[in-house]
Structure 1
């Protein structure tokens, strides 16, 4: 009834030939589709390499471009999977994150909690990243120390220079642009401060102090020493409430503290003297100075609200935030990493 179809007349290929032809045909179809849909990950805009249009939360358009031009890789904290945002768009997106109760206003507590969260994330990330970077640089030889030569080679290659140049460069870098030379000078100064045991080598802890001083216990201990040097009048390595609260005058007659005595006493009782024994030892001072202490976030939140709250209601509207773009872009609420590095 039905005429038998001879498939060999339609498909003159053998089974073995088909098994080779069909996958190859599919491969070329997929390759063609990939080429047609291809979007380059690297594009040039205004002479700046923009990588995949991924924007680091914390940089406005102009700062983002400066960041790329300066090759300031030390400030990278993390990248958000957002399109490149303008400063107002960036601030609005962060505003919505901070506004936990969705009432359209930011309270001091909301700003403080968000800054404290970003601070914790930044410091934890810095400490984790530090170990991996240290181990990747410590190669010539691998001896548990990073030399200036090892780090400087890494720095140059991270900034787009060839391995050949990194290995054979002249010390003055006469062919480099001014911005990169200034970055090298800053690194040398920071290296000298961090290198406590040997000026040419850094241990793992010193390397953390070099790249992320705000995350380093060594840095915090150094700040405790400075505080004791300024306020500890009887040199017993303990601060009393009177020593902390009463203004000390510098060599040139300038006041070293800007707060009034009443405020300093209140601060000592509530934030410094955690065991309420009327004095603060080194452990308490370390906790007081530690950037992860929530008091720092609270102080910055109070300052931000005071500077931007034009309605004087103790809260921030989106419009008030947008009216102070530069203030917020430079704060830990937006750019935690750069704010810390500016301070230290």
Structure 2
């Protein structure tokens, strides 16, 4: 178990380091699947596939085309809640929300079983810390140059999140509390700790606010003498026009929160509108099964993808 968790931690750190050309995203409330709908201004089809199908799936191309299309038809029938032959925006939105909630629930169950194999009523911080960080010697960590410094930062953040999720203060989490620890974006009470983590990452001079330079440097890892991609120039405009609401040249904590956790924006609603716009051949504001099937690639994709959960569930078909 310890070796497995060690590997998971190393993988986490590896995927957290992006190439200098890649855009780093900070918006926690992408909500649907952790992906950008548009990556560097290019439409990302996987966003649509994962929003529609859900996460934690088997490779989609493992299914023969005929079978995958049959299962897509079954999904359409499930979405059409009132069985009138049309998928409305509301029905599609509710389905997308359902797939996201199912993913979160399954992720919590999986992580709880991994960290609490005996399924005790609560998981103590001491046991969690031993499982996740017990293989690391922190006694010699002095500065950022030490190889275990990143793990020390992760442990500190985990501890802070743990304490936030631990409502009764007994230094142990119930499964419900552990879910808040894993997915703080789902709980209003936990969102402040996410903003604090973001500020720590970006605010390099520790002055309590984010300058344009810090903002861009966090999103883009290019060298100073390199020509910036167009999307970076667009982000500069975003900073001035939308992020820096009081126009003082910096983002304070509230402005960072509005950026990272956009208020009053329903991602499932936006995705439902997008899918209907793309597939609604007769422009009547709703979708028939034929319209969805004719846009097969939009909804489930023809390329290999790691996300096809709804199509891979044999018990539902």
Q: Same fold (TM over 0.5)?
A: no
Calculate the TM-score normalised by the size of structure 1.
Answer: 0.38
Query: RCO greater where, 1 or 2, for CA within 8 Å and sep 6 or more?
Result: 2
Compare CA radii of gyration and give the structure with the larger one: 1
Calculate the TM-score normalised by the size of structure 2.
Answer: 0.40
